[in-house]
Amino acid sequence: AKTDGVGLWREFDATMQARQALLFEREQDLRNALGKKQFTLAYQPILDTGTRQSVGCEALLRWTHPTHGSVPPSEFVGLMEKLGLIVPIGRWVLETACLEAVHWPADTHVAVNLSPIQMNDEGLVDEVKAILIRSGLPAHRLTLEVTETSLLEDNPIVRNTMDALRAIGIRFSLDDFGTGHSGLGYLRRFPFDGIKIDKLFIQDMVEQPDAAAIVNALLAVSAELNLDVVAEGVETEAQYEALRQRHCQYVQGHYFAKPLADTEARRFILTHRTA
Ligand code: C2E
Ligand code: CA
Ligand code: CA
Ligand code: CA
C-alpha cells in the first residue's frame, strides 16, 4: 500500500480516536461500577514474623468488569481520583472492610488504603466515625494506610484528621516507605504508628546489598521511633528468613498468602493464630 504523510497522519489520528473512545468507555464503566456492585475487597494477611500467626489483613480493592474481567487497581485508582470517584468509592471500601472485619477474631485488624484526596477531605473524620458505629468495629481494629503524597502539601486538614482519628484509637501507617524523597522527615511531622517497607526493597534485599542496607536503615529508624514495621511483597523463604534475622516484626506477601476473598481470609486467620 502507498502511504504518504497525510495517510500516515490519518492512521495515527484514527488510533488516537480509538484510544480516546476506549478511555471514555472505561470512564463511563467506572462511573457505573459502584452502582452495579462490580467492586469487591480482597484481603491479604499480615503475619507476625516470629510466630507466623496472622495479626490482620490489608483490604485491596478489586474491580470485576463485565467484559474485561478483573481490572488491576493500577489501571483504575488514578482514574477514580481524576473523575472525583475516589471519595464515594473510598467510603464504600472503608465501610465494607469494617463490616467484614468485624467478623474476624477480636485481636485482628484491617488495614485500609486511603488516597491523598481522601486524606485532604474535611469530611473524612465524621465519615470514619459513622462507619465504625454502623459496622460495630472497634476503632483500634482499623489501620489507615497513607502514602507520602498525602503529606506533601502539608495541609493542616491532614494533620487534624490524623490527630482526631488517632484520638479515638485508629492507627496510621506510612505506606510504600522508602520510595519517596523525604519520608524520614514525615515521620517527625506526622503522628504515625507504623510504616510499610515497600516491596521494591524487600524483593531485592537478598541479592542486592544496597537494598539490604536500606532495609536495615529503615528497621533501625523504626525501632528508635517505636514504630511498627510491616515488610510488604515477601515472596520467598530467603526474604522471610532475612527479615526474621533482622527482627522485622510483621510480614505480608505471596510467600504467605495472596489477597483472598473475605471468607477465605477469615479462614486463613482462624487457621493461623495462637489461641
Ligand atoms: P499497596 O497499598 O502498596 O498494596 C500492596 C500491593 O502489593 C497490592 O497490589 C498487593 O496485591 C501486592 N502484593 C502483595 N504481596 C505481593 C507479593 O508478594 N509480590 C508482589 N509482586 N505483589 C504483592 P494491588 O492489589 O494490585 O494494589 C496496588 C495498589 O493499588 C496498592 O498498593 C494501593 O496503592 C492501591 N489500592 C488498592 N486498593 C485500594 C483502595 O481501596 N484504595 C486506594 N486508594 N488505593 C488502593
Ligand atoms: Ca497499602
Ligand atoms: Ca505498599
Ligand atoms: Ca504501592
| Ligand 4 mean position, distance from CA 25 (Å) | 26
Measured from the Cα of 81, ligand 1's closest atom is 44
What does the alpha-carbon distance between residue 55 and residue 274 come to, in Å, rounded to a whole number? 10
b/e string for 241-259 if b means 16 or more Cβ within 10 A?
ebbeebebbbbbbebbbeb
| 11-64 tens-digit pLDDT | 778 888 888 888 889 999 999 999 999 999 999 999 999 999 999 999 999 999
> Would you say the CB of residue 253 lies under 6 angstroms from ligand 1?
yes
b/e string for 26-61 if b means 16 or more Cβ within 10 A?
bbebbeebbeeebbebbbbbbbebeeebbbbbbbbb
| Ligand 2 mean position, distance from CA 202 (Å) | 15
> Would you say the CB of residue 202 lies under 6 angstroms from ligand 1?
no
Instruction: Please name the residues in contact with 8: beta carbons below 8 A apart, sequence gap of 6 or more.
Output: none
| 181-224 tens-digit pLDDT | 667 888 888 999 999 999 999 999 999 999 999 999 999 999 99
Measured from the Cα of 93, ligand 1's closest atom is 41
> Would you say the CB of residue 141 lies under 6 angstroms from ligand 1?
no
Angle at which helices 156-167 and 124-135 cross, to 10° = 20
Take residue 210 and report the three cell numbers written for it.
544496597
Residue type, 52: R
148: Cα separation from own chain's centroid: 12
What does the alpha-carbon distance between residue 48 and residue 165 come to, in Å, rounded to a whole number? 25
Residue type, 132: L
**Whole-number pLDDT of residue 179:** 83
| Ligand 4 mean position, distance from CA 113 (Å) | 10
Residue 39: its H or E element? strand 39-48
| Mutation choice for ligand 1 from 92, 113, 119, 230, CB with most ligand atoms inside 8 A | 113
| 156-186 tens-digit pLDDT | 999 999 999 999 999 999 999 888 766 788 8
Nearest CA to ligand 1 atom 19: 233
Q: What is the pTM of this model?
A: 0.94
| Mutation choice for ligand 1 from 57, 60, 174, CB with most ligand atoms inside 8 A | 60
- 67 three-class SS: coil
> Would you say the CB of residue 115 lies under 6 angstroms from ligand 1?
yes
Q: Which of 80, 93, 98 is nearest to 138 (CA)?
A: 98
Task: Give the DSSP per-residue string, 152-169.
Answer: TT--HHHHHHHHHHHHTT
